[in-house]
Amino acid sequence: MESFARLIHKSYMTYLPTKMPVQFYGLPDGKVYILYAKFFKVGYEKSGLEFVIAEHEEFSFDYEKGQLIQYDSSMNKIHVYSETVDKPNPKIKIIKVFRSTKSFAEAFEHLNEKAKKILKNNIQEKQIEVDTDNEELNRKSASA
C-alpha cells in the first residue's frame, strides 16, 4: 500500500492525554494530523481502546518540501524540527474517533485514505485549470 500521509514524528512519551504511542503526520492539505490511541470505559470495570485522529492547530506542513512549519506570534512562518510538534499544552481539534478499529495500522489506513483523496482533488483542480487555459488558447487561435 502506497503511503500518502507523511510521518513527521513518533513519540512514546507525549504531552497528549494518553499512555500509548502518538504519531504525527503531514497531509497534502498542509495540515498536521495526530494519530493516537487511548482507553475508554465501556461499562463496569471494562474498558476498550479507541483511536483518535486530531488536527494540530499550531503547525502546518509543506507537503512538497516535507517541512514542518510553526507560526510565531507575528504570524511569520518558521521551519522547525519534527520533535517540536510534540509540545506542552497542544492546541488540537479532534476530527474523528474510531472505536471499532483494532490497530494503529487500521487507523493509519483511514488517515492515508484522507491524504489520497486530497491529492486526487488537488490533481483534478490543476487539470481543470490547465484545460481552461487550453480552451482559452484554442479560442484565441481560432479567432485569429
**Taking the CA atoms of the chain, what radius of gyration do you get in angstroms?**
20
In a domain, 100, yes or no: yes
Give me the percent of the chain exceeding a pLDDT of 70.
81
The total of structural domains in the chain comes to: 1
Number of CB atoms found within 10 A of residue 121's CB: 12
> What would the mean pLDDT of 37-53 be, rounded to a whole number?
88
pLDDT at 139: 53
pLDDT at 74: 63
In a domain, 38, yes or no: yes
pLDDT at 7: 96
In a domain, 131, yes or no: yes
In a domain, 128, yes or no: yes
Q: How far is CA 19 from CA 5, 36, 61, in A?
A: 23, 9, 26
pLDDT at 1: 67
pTM higher than 0.85: no
Examine the pLDDT at 131 and tell me if it is beyond 60: no
Name the band, by pLDDT with cuts 50, 70 and 90, for residue 60.
Answer: very high
In a domain, 1, yes or no: no
In a domain, 77, yes or no: yes
For residue 115, what are the domain limits? 6-142
Examine the pLDDT at 42 and tell me if it is beyond 90: no
The mean predicted confidence, pLDDT, of the chain is 85
Residue appearing with cell numbers 479532534: 94
Cross-strand pairs, 34: 24, 54
In a domain, 51, yes or no: yes
In a domain, 109, yes or no: yes
- How do residues 69-125 score in pLDDT, each as one tens digit? 987 666 677 778 899 999 999 999 999 999 999 999 999 999 999 999 999 888 777
Closest CA to 11 of 59, 91, 67, 83: 83
Cross-strand pairs, 56: 32, 92
Examine the pLDDT at 38 and tell me if it is beyond 60: yes
| CA torsion angle 17 22 23 29 (round to 10) | -10
Give me the percent of the chain exceeding a pLDDT of 90.
61
Whether the CB-CB separation of 78 and 68 falls below 8 Å is answered with no
CA 13, CA 8: separation in Å to the nearest integer? 16
